[in-house]
Amino acid sequence: MRNSRSVFVLALSLSACLVLLLRIAPAAPAHFWITDDNVTPDGPDTVTSISIEEGQVGTLYVWARAETNKKLRNISLNLVAMQAGVDFIDGSFTMHNDAGGGRQRYEYTSDSSSSPAVDSEESLFDVRFNSQTDAIEALQGFSISAAAASIRGVGGVCVGAETGCVTASDGHPAWLIASVDYNAVIGGPVTDLHLQIGDNGMNHESLVPGDYDYNGVVDMDDFTEVENSFGSTTDLWADGNDNGIVDAADFTIWQDNLGSVSEFEVSSLTSVVFGADSSNDGEPTYNAASDQEVTLLTDDPDATITITAPLSALDTVPEPSTLGLLSVALLCLGNLSGRVRSSS
Ligand SMILES: [Ca+2]
Ligand SMILES: [Ca+2]
Ligand SMILES: [Ca+2]
Ligand SMILES: [Ca+2]
C-alpha cells in the first residue's frame, strides 16, 4: 500500500515538474540564415553551400524568423567573411523594408541607400591583392516611435499578401530581410561567411491579438482596419484568425483584446541562432546584448562559398566534332572564294 502511494506521489511530483519545465522552457531563439535563393528558401536548418566561378558576381539573401508570437522590431546585423575570397560590393546592401499594402517593416533602415551609406570594410583591390577579409557592419532596420502605426516589424505569421514573407521548405514562415552582392575573387579556396549581432543589438516586441495596425495597442484604429477590409480575401492585415478572410471572428478577436498593449523587450532577452548546425555539435545561441560583433566558438559557417576557376579560352581545346565542322566551313569558304575569283 505504502509502495503504491509513494509511486503515486512520485508520479504527481514528476508531472508537476514537467508542467513547471514546460512553463519555464525558453521560447525558440530568433533565427537568421543565408541562402542564394530569394523566392523559396530552405529553412534555417539546411546547410548553405554555394559554388561560383571566379570573377562572377553573386547575391546573398538573409532570411529571418522571429520568436513565436513576437515580432523583431529592431535588427542590427554584421556579415563577415573569414577568408579573402569574396568582396562585398558597396552600393548593393539592402534592408528590405516594404511589407506591402502601404506598410513598412521598420521606421528606419541603415544600408546602401541611407545617408551616410553602409560601406564594406575592404575594397576589391584589398581583398584580391592584400588578402584582406571583407565585412559589413551594422545592416539595420529599426523603429524608434513606440506607437508607429503601419510599422509591421518582422515576425509572427505572414499576413495575407505580405511582401517578402514566404513559407520556407521546412513549412514555417521566413522573412527576406537583406540582400548583398559580392565579387567572387580568388579561384580555389573556400570562403566561410558568418552573420553576427551588430552593435545596436536586437529587440523583440510581443504581438497582441487584434492589433491589426501593429502599433502595439488594440484600439479603435484596429476596429477601423476590420471595418475597411471586411469581407476581403486579399487585404488580410485584419485577418486575426488567419482563415483567409476578414470576418466577424476577427472583430471578436479585436473586441476580446481591446485595450491590450504589447511588451517591448530589451536586447538581453533576445536569443539568436545563425544558420545550420553543419557539424552536429550544437549551434551556439547568441545573446543580443552581450554577444555583439563576435562569432562564438563552435558556430558553423552560415554560408560556405566555393570559388571555382574560370573557363579560360586558352584552356578550351575544340572537340573533334567542332574541328570537323570547322574544316567543312574552311573548305566551303575556299571553294566560294575560288568561284568568286574565277567569275571576276
Ligand atoms: Ca568590399
Ligand atoms: Ca493597434
Ligand atoms: Ca478571419
Ligand atoms: Ca552558424
- Residue 151's φ and ψ, nearest 5 degrees, are -95, 110
How close are the terminal C-alpha atoms of the chain, in Å?
123
CA distance 305 to 315: 24
Cell 553543419 found at: 278
Q: Looking at residue 149, what is its pLDDT? A: 73
CA distance 95 to 177: 6
Q: Looking at residue 310, what is its pLDDT? A: 83
- Kindly give the distance from the C-alpha atom of residue 254 to the centroid of ligand 3, in angstroms, as a whole number: 11
Nearest ligand to residue 123 Cα: 1
CA distance 300 to 263: 33
- Here the contacts of 318-326 (C-beta below 8 Å, separation 24 or greater) are none
- Kindly give the distance from the C-alpha atom of residue 70 to the centroid of ligand 2, in angstroms, as a whole number: 15
Nearest ligand to residue 240 Cα: 3
Nearest ligand to residue 182 Cα: 1
- Kindly give the distance from the C-alpha atom of residue 44 to the centroid of ligand 4, in angstroms, as a whole number: 10
Nearest ligand to residue 248 Cα: 3
Nine-digit cell string for 60: 546573398
Instruction: Assess whether pLDDT exceeds 80 at residue 19.
Output: no
Angle at 130 between CA 127 and CA 115, to 5 degrees: 45
- Residue 135's φ and ψ, nearest 5 degrees, are -155, 150
Q: Looking at residue 27, what is its pLDDT? A: 67
Nearest ligand to residue 80 Cα: 1
- Kindly give the distance from the C-alpha atom of residue 86 to the centroid of ligand 1, in angstroms, as a whole number: 8
Q: Looking at residue 219, what is its pLDDT? A: 96
pLDDT band per the 50, 70, 90 thresholds, residue 150: confident
pTM listed for this prediction: 0.83
CA distance 108 to 89: 22
CA distance 108 to 140: 8
- For the chain, domains (ranges, CATH) are 29-207+265-304 (no CATH), 209-261 (1.10.1330.10)
CA distance 278 to 46: 8
Residue 220 or 4, more confident: 220
Nine-digit cell string for 323: 574541328
Nearest ligand to residue 122 Cα: 1
Average confidence (pLDDT) over 312-316? 48
CB-based neighbours (< 5 A) of ligand 2, an ion: 211, 213, 215, 222
Q: Looking at residue 145, what is its pLDDT? A: 81
- Kindly give the distance from the C-alpha atom of residue 73 to the centroid of ligand 2, in angstroms, as a whole number: 15
CB-based neighbours (< 5 A) of ligand 4, an ion: 274-275, 299-300, 302
Q: Specify which residues 102 forms β-bridges with.
A: none
Nearest ligand to residue 126 Cα: 1
CA distance 220 to 24: 35
Reduced to 3 states, what is the DSSP secondary structure of residue 307?
strand
Kindly report, residue by residue over 51-92, the tens digit of the pLDDT: 999 999 999 999 999 999 999 999 999 999 999 999 999 999
Strand extents, DSSP E, 162-234: 165-167, 173-184, 190-197, 203-206
Strand extents, DSSP E, 56-100: 57-65, 70-81, 86-88, 94-95, 98-100
- Kindly give the distance from the C-alpha atom of residue 120 to the centroid of ligand 1, in angstroms, as a whole number: 5
Nearest ligand to residue 91 Cα: 1
Please provide the average confidence, as pLDDT, over all residues in the chain: 86
Nearest ligand to residue 261 Cα: 2
Kindly report, residue by residue over 241-290, the tens digit of the pLDDT: 999 999 999 999 999 999 999 999 999 999 999 999 999 999 999 999 99
